[in-house]
Every structure is written in C-alpha cells, then in structure tokens.
C-alpha cells in the first residue's frame, strides 16, 4: 500500500453522533483528519448538524442522511471558493446540536427575595421549582452560548438560566400583588405567566422554555411560627368551642394513655371544665354594666343605714345611732363617734 492509499484511508467517510451522554452540543473530532468529499452525514431525530468554517457558521442540516457534495453544501462551498466539481478532502468543524427536550432542570432562590405584602408588610420569600428547555435555533444557540468548546451540557448554563428565571418570577409576583397567604393557590397561574414572560429572553439565545413550574414559595421559619400562633389565637377566640376542644383532647389523650386509667380521665375532664367555667364567669362579669363608684357608695350607705335603723328598732335597748359605718361598712362600737377602721365621723 502506497502513501496515497494510507492517507486516503484516514479521510472521514461517516459523520454521526450517537448521543448517550445527555450533552446539548457535541463537536465531531475532525481536527487532524480530513472529510472526504462524498462522505455520509447521518443526522438522527432530535439532532441538527452544523458545519463551521474558520469560526463562521455555514450549512445547517436537520434529521436525515446526506452525501456531502458541493451541491448540498452551498454556504461552505462559497466560503471556501471551491470549484463546482471539487472532489478533494476538506477540513471543517462539525457540531451536532441536540434539539431534544431537556427536562427536570431545577431553579431556586439563592437568597431570599424581599417583597411588600399588604397584610404582613415587608417579607422575605424563598422559592424553588423546575423547568424544561430545548434548542429551537441551533445556529443561534451555537453562536450565542456554545463558542468553540468540544462538549456542552445543561450544567454549564444552568446557573445563567436560573438567574434569569428567578428574576422574572420575582418581578411577576411583586407586580401581581397577590397576598402571601394566597400564593399557594396561584402557583399554576403564576407558572404560566412567568413562562410567557421569560420566553423572549430564551428565544434570543436559540432556546425555548417548554415548561416552568413553581413548586413552593415560603416565608422564613420565624414568620411562619408567628402565623401559626395567630391562627391558634383565632381558633381559641370562641371560648365555648375551645372548652369543648380541650375536653375532647383530654379524652383522646386518656384513651391513648391507658396507664392513666379513669383517674387521669377524670382529672383531665375536671381541669377542662374548670377552665371553661372560669373563662365563662370572667366573660359574664365583663359583660355586666358597671355602676359609677359614687352610686355604689350611696346605695351601700342607704342599705347600711336601713340595716342600722332596723337593728336599732329591733333592739330592746335604747337607740344608740348607726351600727355600721356609712363609708366602709365596718361595725361600729357602741356609742362610738368615729369609725375605728376608716376614721369617718359617725
């Protein structure tokens, strides 16, 4: 075999990419080998092949099988100024771009997003979810994001895409003015709106956002504890219902703890009923109208005077005046001129 036959054997005759790595872009290794004119190019479904000449994008091929010639490589032929009947090996960079759907990619807030809420005021929100993308314009994607790398995966752009998604969702939630307490009921609507808002940003890079999901938007733990405490207070607002709840809880705990026996059940019920009665009495006292202090003293004085008069009248001895102090109600000593308790003149 001569030297020409050896060199001819090194020409690349089949160009294809069997994707099993999950890469978005794969650079076919033709650095030291020349591509034979008439070689076979195989582009599978969910793939696109791009020929690049000295950094300039030339021809783009969709799914199918091609026999390379000047007829089906018009741009590359023009860039290299080949004659019409060119039949020699040539060199070019060949990139395969996956147009499949890349799913279950994650996004999340690195730092809390500060937002204004009508009920809670200034709050800090954290959120996370998932999204899916696919390459819709391989030439634009290759030019805008890929560069001259030999391999490209979603991990290499996940941070960049995550920042775009978080910014878009944060703006959307702030502008929607949905109360924090109602956000969970609007995840689906917010996801659809966020995808529509982010689509133009990704299209400029040759990508399409095929799915976006908001899985959770949460407040800091200390704020959530305050909300739980407020909810508990609202539930306990109905004292009658609260007493019944406490009684039911005591019965349940006794049933779950057989060692306590009937004594434990009785103690729990007694405590619950006593608490309920005490609260009921306090509420009744607060509901009663209060008479002015002067009227109370006047009524007490009249009552005491009447009592004193009655006592005097019923007494078998001579009348000795008031038996009780009209100011403090203390019993007076016989023939006393001043109350020994408060000093009021009788």
Q: What is the dihedral of CA 164, 169, 171, 175, to 10 degrees?
A: 160
Q: Where are the beta strands (DSSP E) in the chain?
A: 12-15, 25-28, 35-43, 47-53, 56-61, 64-67, 93-98, 102-108, 113-117, 121-135, 151-152, 207-218
Per-residue pLDDT of 38-73, as tens digits, reads: 899 999 999 999 999 888 899 999 999 999 988 889
Q: What share of the chain is helix, strand, coil (3-state, %, to 5)?
A: 45, 25, 30
Contact 105, 133 (CB under 8 A): yes
How far apart CA 31 and CA 178 sit, in angstroms, is 56
**Nearest partner of 48 among 26, 67, 78, 76, judged by Cα:** 26
Average pLDDT for the chain: 77
Averaged pLDDT, 93-120: 88
Please give the pLDDT value at position 173. Answer: 87
- Res. 148: pLDDT tops 80: no
Averaged pLDDT, 150-158: 77
Higher pLDDT: 182 or 288? It is 182
Looking at residue 305, what is its pLDDT? Answer: 45
DSSP bridge pairs for 208? 134
Fold adopted by 102-223: Tetrahydropterin Synthase; Chain A (3.30.479)
Q: How confident is the model at residue 34 (pLDDT cuts 50, 70, 90)?
A: confident
**Average pLDDT, integer, range 239-262:** 68
Residue-wise burial string across 157-171, b where 16 or more C-beta atoms lie within 10 A, e elsewhere: bbeebbebbbebbbe
Q: What is the CA radius of gyration of the chain?
A: 45
Q: What percent of the chain has pLDDT over 70?
A: 71
pLDDT band at 330 (very low <50, low <70, confident <90, very high): confident
pLDDT, tens only, 196-234: 999 999 999 999 999 999 999 888 787 777 777 766 666
Q: Which of 22-26, 85-89, 133-137 has the lowest mean pLDDT?
A: 85-89
Query: Could you tell me the pLDDT band of residue 178, with boundaries at 50, 70 and 90?
Result: confident
Return the top range by mean pLDDT from 105-109, 145-149, 285-289: 105-109
124's CB contacts (< 8 A; 6+ apart) are 112, 113, 114, 115, 219, 220, 223
Which residue would you say has higher pLDDT here, 276 or 203?
A: 203
Tokens of 221: 């733990």
Q: Band the pLDDT of 30: cuts 50, 70, 90.
A: confident
pLDDT of residue 218: 86
Per-residue pLDDT, 189: 93
Q: What is the pLDDT of residue 207?
A: 93
| pLDDT given for residue 278 in this prediction | 61
Helix axes 239-256, 261-287, angle to 10 degrees: 170
Band of pLDDT at residue 1, cut at 50, 70 and 90: very low
Q: How confident is the model at residue 325 (pLDDT cuts 50, 70, 90)?
A: confident
Q: With contact defined as beta carbons under 8 Å apart, do 330 and 324 qualify? A: yes
What's the pLDDT score for residue 263?
53
What residues pair up with 53 in beta bridges, in sequence order?
56
Lowest mean pLDDT among 87-101, 130-144, 241-255: 241-255
Say yes or no to pLDDT of 236 above 70. no
């Amino acid at each position: 075999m001569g030297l020409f036959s050896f060199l001819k054997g090194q020409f690349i005759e089949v160009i294809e990419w069997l994707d099993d790595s999950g890469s978005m872009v794969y650079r076919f290794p033709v650095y030291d080998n020349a591509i034979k004119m008439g070689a076979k190019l195989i582009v599978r479904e969910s793939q696109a092949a791009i020929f690049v000449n000295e950094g300039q994008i030339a021809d783009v091929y969709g799914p199918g099988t091609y026999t390379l010639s000047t007829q089906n490589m018009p741009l590359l032929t023009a860039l290299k100024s080949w004659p019409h009947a060119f039949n020699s090996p040539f060199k070019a960079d060949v990139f395969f771009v996956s147009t499949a759907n890349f799913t279950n990619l994650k996004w999340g807030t690195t730092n809390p997003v500060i937002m204004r809420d009508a009920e809670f005021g200034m709050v800090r929100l954290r959120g996370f979810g998932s999204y899916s993308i696919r390459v819709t314009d391989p030439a634009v994607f290759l030019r805008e994001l890929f560069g001259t790398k030999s391999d490209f995966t979603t991990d290499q752009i996940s941070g960049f895409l995550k920042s775009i998604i978080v910014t878009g969702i944060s703006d959307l939630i702030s502008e929607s003015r949905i109360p924090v307490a109602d956000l969970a009921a609007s995840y689906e609507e917010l996801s659809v709106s966020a995808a529509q808002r982010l689509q133009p940003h990704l299209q400029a890079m040759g990508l399409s956002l095929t799915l976006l999901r908001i899985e959770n938007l949460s407040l800091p733990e200390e704020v959530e504890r305050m909300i739980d405490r407020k909810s508990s207070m609202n539930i306990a607002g109905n004292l009658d219902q609260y007493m019944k709840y406490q009684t039911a809880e005591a019965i349940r705990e006794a049933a779950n703890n057989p060692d306590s026996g009937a004594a434990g059940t009785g103690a729990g019920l007694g405590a619950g009923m006593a608490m309920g009665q005490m609260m009921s009495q306090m509420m009744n006292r607060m509901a009663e109208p209060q008479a002015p202090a002067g009227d109370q003293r006047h009524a007490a004085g009249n009552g005491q005077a009447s009592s004193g008069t009655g006592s005097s009248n019923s007494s078998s001895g001579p009348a000795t005046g008031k038996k009780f102090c009209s100011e403090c109600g203390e019993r007076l000593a016989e023939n006393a001129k001043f109350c020994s308790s408060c000093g009021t003149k009788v």
